[in-house]
Amino acid sequence: MLPKSPSDIDTSLHFLRERIGQAAREAGRRPGDVRIIAVSKQQSVMAITTALKAGQCEFGENLLHEALDKMDALDDESITWHFIGALQSNKTRKIAERFQWVHTVDRVKIARRLSAQRPGQAGPLDVCIEVRLVEEPGKAGAPPAAVEDLAAEIAGLERLRLRGLMCLPPRETDSGRQRAHFRRLREIRDSLLAAGHTLDTLSMGMSDDYVAAVQEGATMVRIGTAIFGPRQER
């Protein structure tokens, strides 16, 4: 299967916005409360430019070096860049310097490095705590029991702004099971709100399960294939 053409990307974004709007309304929510993060990992600069022309201004990248190349090639201040990949200590400086959002903070050490390395003139770095809802081999994320302590640590860091929670649950085909995972993340968010944290973001849902995520309160959905088609082979 080939990557989508420019006209296909435009059509896909239009359909995605309509479907998200429908899901939001069915859940008694406002469509404008859900933001699309276009996951552009292994997609070309041309594909990103096409999405930009179609009104998509927020992009998520998993791989730092690839993301930096795209940032330099595009040099477009209208783009908001979200880092959504695994965080490694030796890469935090560039992430802190170049991204506006980080969705995958899962331990205090990484949070402290991001705060210390965030340039003062850039403003606070918006971050989400990645929560590991289910124990899976090799799966990143803070366990639910550790989230409140981690949130308290992040709240005390000067150059970070804790915005919410993120999850990458197991792949499910049943909508009920999809919703159960996303509901659990929302409930963890609600417990943090009750503890006094100010949070406005639930980053959850991808191309196969974004409808269930929106129904359970997602404010950001991270969509790649449904916009761009399959990733380009490297």
Residue at 74 is within a domain: yes
210, 182 contact by CB (below 8 A): no
Distance CA 105, CA 142 (A): 8
Residue at 1 is within a domain: no
Distance CA 184, CA 133 (A): 8
Q: How many domains does the chain have?
A: 1
Residue at 234 is within a domain: no
Residue at 28 is within a domain: yes
- Condensed to tens digits (0 to 9), the pLDDT of residues 169-209 reads 999 999 999 999 999 999 999 999 999 999 999 999 999 99
Which among 73, 116, 69 has a CA at the least distance from the CA of 96? Answer: 116
Distance CA 229, CA 81 (A): 20
The predicted model gives 90-97 an average pLDDT of: 97
Q: How far are the Cα atoms of 111, 184, 216 from residue 69, in angstroms, in the given order? A: 24, 36, 35
Does the pLDDT value for residue 93 go beyond 50? yes
Residue at 219 is within a domain: yes
Does the pLDDT value for residue 1 go beyond 50? no
143, 184 contact by CB (below 8 A): no
Residue at 70 is within a domain: yes
User: In terms of residues, how long is the chain?
Assistant: 234
Residue at 45 is within a domain: yes
Which among 42, 35, 44, 43 has a CA at the least distance from the CA of 16? Answer: 35
User: Can you give the residue range of the structural domain that contains 24?
Assistant: 6-228
Query: Which CATH number belongs to the domain containing residue 212 in this structure?
Result: 3.20.20.10
pLDDT of residue 3: 57
Residue at 190 is within a domain: yes
